[in-house]
Amino acid sequence: MMSQSKPPTQNVIGFPVTALSFYEQIDWMLEWAAQRLSKTVCVANVHMLMEATWNKEFGAILSGSDMVTPDGMPLVWLMSWMGRYRQDRVAGMDIILGLCGRSPSRNVSIFFLGSDANTLQKMRQRLRHEFPNLEIAGMEPLPFRPLTPQEDENITRLINESGAGIVMVSLGCPKQEQWISDHKDKVNAVMIGLGGAFPVYAGVQKWAPEIVRQLGFEWLYRLIQEPGRLWKRYAKTIPPFAVLALLQVVSTLSREDMSLQTRSR
């Protein structure tokens, strides 16, 4: 049974990333949600993996998550090469579309938490148009400051009383992953960190064209939109990830070569 074990993973620079097709990963989330299980889902890209590499506490959160989907194309390429199979990309916007489209058939409602009131309102309008059968359990913005214990207790109770099977969380990385981890076994739902996808779905930010996403240049598309905010992040995270990925590839090739030599003797 899905609820009794974790989905299969593949090691990507030291972290377990879920190694299933897009639809299989969506199936796991829906199965958990239908049972109102408290599960954590991280949507990982290069930035997240490097933050987890540098910050041991955050690394433990990522490693302990029930599912880590491969959002960034570098993760997809590395998994596809090392696993000798074609790994799908499981990105934030696609997760929103996939879950909102299929949740009604499983009688699963969705709670949208975080971001700001304006973004949530625009999301509600689009959701009503694109997914008229979707049951929105609730939409609640959160302040940028830390919540007081009473506020946090109120939010937890609100989510649980709403009956939501899925909670989509938009607080930004790593804040949303920390919140999700802190609420494991407190919130009776599948909690998914989808920070960057909320403003895109709301139309506040543009979604890269499909061909750009398929070629792996969405990062460049986003950089052009937000150069002031993103160039330092990319400069800080992409080069060290490339080095770690190369070391992992070399290590994998070395083990395979040693294995071949051993069998040939």
pLDDT exceeds 80 at position 258:
no
pLDDT tens readout for residues 203-229? 998 888 888 887 777 877 877 887 877
- 256 falls within a domain: no
Judging by beta carbons within 10 Å of its beta carbon (0-12, 13-18, 19+), is residue 152 exposed, middle or buried?
middle
Lowest-pLDDT range, 24-38, 66-80, 136-150, 212-226? Answer: 212-226
- pTM confidence score: 0.92
- 155 falls within a domain: yes
- 264 falls within a domain: no
The contacts of residue 178 (CB under 8 Å, 6+ apart) are 58, 61
Sheet strands side by side (includes 39-44): 67-70, 39-44, 190-193, 166-170, 110-114, 136-140
pLDDT exceeds 60 at position 3:
no
Sign of CA dihedral 150, 154, 155, 156: positive
- Banded pLDDT at 195 (limits 50, 70, 90): confident
- 259 falls within a domain: no
- 103 falls within a domain: yes
Rounded Cα distance between 229 and 237, Å, is 14
- 145 falls within a domain: yes
Residue 158, domain extent: 2-249
Overall average pLDDT of the 83-95 stretch: 93
According to DSSP, the β-strands at 110-114 and 136-140 are parallel
- 260 falls within a domain: no
pLDDT exceeds 50 at position 122:
yes
State residue 223's pLDDT score.
Answer: 78
pLDDT exceeds 90 at position 111:
yes
CA geometry: angle 159, 91, 37, nearest 5 deg: 35
Rounded Cα distance between 35 and 190, Å, is 10
pLDDT exceeds 60 at position 38:
yes
Q: Is the preceding peptide bond at 141 cis, omega within 30 degrees of 0?
A: no
Residue 2 per-residue DSSP state: G
pLDDT exceeds 80 at position 4:
no
Overall average pLDDT of the 143-164 stretch: 94
State residue 212's pLDDT score.
Answer: 80
Overall average pLDDT of the 113-137 stretch: 97
State residue 132's pLDDT score.
Answer: 97
- 187 falls within a domain: yes
Give 104-109 contacts, CB < 8 A, sequence gap 24+: 104/131, 104/133, 104/134, 104/135, 106/30, 106/33, 106/34, 106/165, 107/34, 108/30, 108/33, 108/34, 108/135, 108/165, 108/166, 109/134, 109/135, 109/136, 109/137, 109/162, 109/163, 109/164, 109/165, 109/166
**Percentage of the chain exceeding pLDDT 90:** 74
- Banded pLDDT at 144 (limits 50, 70, 90): confident
The contacts of residue 135 (CB under 8 Å, 6+ apart) are 103, 104, 108, 109, 110
Looking at the structure of the chain, the number of domains it has is: 1
State residue 218's pLDDT score.
Answer: 83
